[in-house]
Amino acid sequence: MYYPMITPISGFSKLNKEEKIDWLLKTYLQGSNIAEKVLKQYWNENEAVQQLHEEFTENTLSNFYLPFGIAPNFLINGKLMAIPMATEESSVIAAASKAAKFWQTRGGFKVEVLNTTKNGQVHFIYNGDREKLNRFFKGVKPVLFDAVSGVTRNMRKRGGGVLGIELVDKTKLISGYFQLHCTFETKDSMGANFINSCLEKFADTLKEEAAKFQEFNVEEKRLEVIMSILSNYVPECLVKVEVSCPVSELYDDTHISHGTFAEKFLTAIKIAEVEPYRAVTHNKGLMNGVDAVVLATGNDFRAIEAGIHAYACKDGFYTGLTHASVENDIFKFWMEIPLALGTVGGLTNLHPLAKVALEILQKPSARELMEIVAVAGLAQNFAAVKTLVTNGIQQGHMKMHLMNILNSQNATPREKEELIHYFKKHTVTHSSVSEQLERIRN
């Protein structure tokens, strides 16, 4: 492997895009014309759109595209919808579409938002008398609310704002560690900037008021704020989604009875509830659906991932997030997950495709988007588990992956056509595709 001798660069961010690429080519890519061509071929021909993308982040060289697709036939609370998805993984959109069609004739998805409360903390160190701190907090609490009145004015007009501020003693975990635990309602905004602005104002006010509090001694007046930041763990911001149907309508295949399928499905769900090795992959499956819609609508999939996986550990161990039951011959499949999403602000208003995605969804509110995202997650998980307990995951997944394998081996249009036909009746593996390509080419 070639390891170039590299000299640190100063002022890289001040270079224009062409200069950044030129430096990259000379420093790491040995002047590769191929790398330069690839970087530039993904520039958007519309200069305004390209400029917009470059302003999303820093040191932009090109754009990294993901397929933007659609999964139709989702019946959600009686309304038929098509859900946009941005994903690179084979079979995700196909599986979601198949699950949507399956449940569309069985009552569809029933979904409700249970709560939309979000939170954040001011973390601080105080090593004085705790009773003094309690008295100080009781007096300063209304001052904290007043301090953010300017920040919250517009949010309050929309029905949101600061819901509560509580003093939390964490000294059993870290010496002198306390926090202001603050809850918020941010309506159709995801609210990160709003929450962080409030928290930083709380922190400044806390320090200012502590310095004036007469009961504090000199040391106590120097209450030390460590940081102020929202939390992406939103266990109160919950949405619940479910599907149900008679067991007799569950599966139509001569190789397995309805009852056997239901029994295997329930056992698979129970395994994910108790076995972390399975639970992680199980939840990854539902996140295939969740992330694809979150990405398509310009929301923060990393925050959603972190919050949902933390929620999977809320009982002290990592567990599967979907559940199933059969009572009185009725199959029921459901989940509750935390989702902090927005339909205004951030990329939702800036990214052209995110705006199109929200238009496809009929310009939903944040609550409605929570419902749609949860539905996509449950649909994806149902499709995955259904496949696992019947035909196995590889048969369908690898057939969807066939085109990726063919493209990686530079198959021509004629070769693709012939091999797609061939693998309709044969198992797809990397080696089998390579063998058939070689056969054709020879």
Q: Would you please indicate which residues are annotated as catalytic (active-site) residues?
A: 89, 284, 300, 397
Give CA separation, 362 vs 256, 292, 329, in Å. 40, 18, 36
Q: How many Å separate Cα 229 from the centre of its chain?
A: 19
CB 331 within 8 A of CB 262: yes
User: What is the rounded distance in angstroms from the CA atom of residue 442 to the CA atom of residue 438?
Assistant: 6
CB 329 within 8 A of CB 283: no
> Rounded to the nearest 10 degrees, how much is the dihedral formed by the CA atoms of 373, 377, 383, 388?
170
CB 109 within 8 A of CB 76: yes
User: What is the rounded distance in angstroms from the CA atom of residue 354 to the CA atom of residue 296?
Assistant: 6
Per DSSP, helices labelled H in 105-167 are 130-147, 149-157
Bridge pairing between strands 177-185 and 118-125:
antiparallel
User: What is the rounded distance in angstroms from the CA atom of residue 367 to the CA atom of residue 76?
Assistant: 13
Q: Which residues in 117-151 are b (16+ Cβ under 10 Å) and which e? A: bbbbbbbbebebeeeebeebbeebeeebbebbeeb
| DSSP states of 7-67 | ---SSGGGS-HHHHHHHHHHHHSTT-HHHHHHHHHTS-SSHHHHHHHHTTSSS--S-----
Residue that has been written with the tokens 């009929």 in this structure: 362
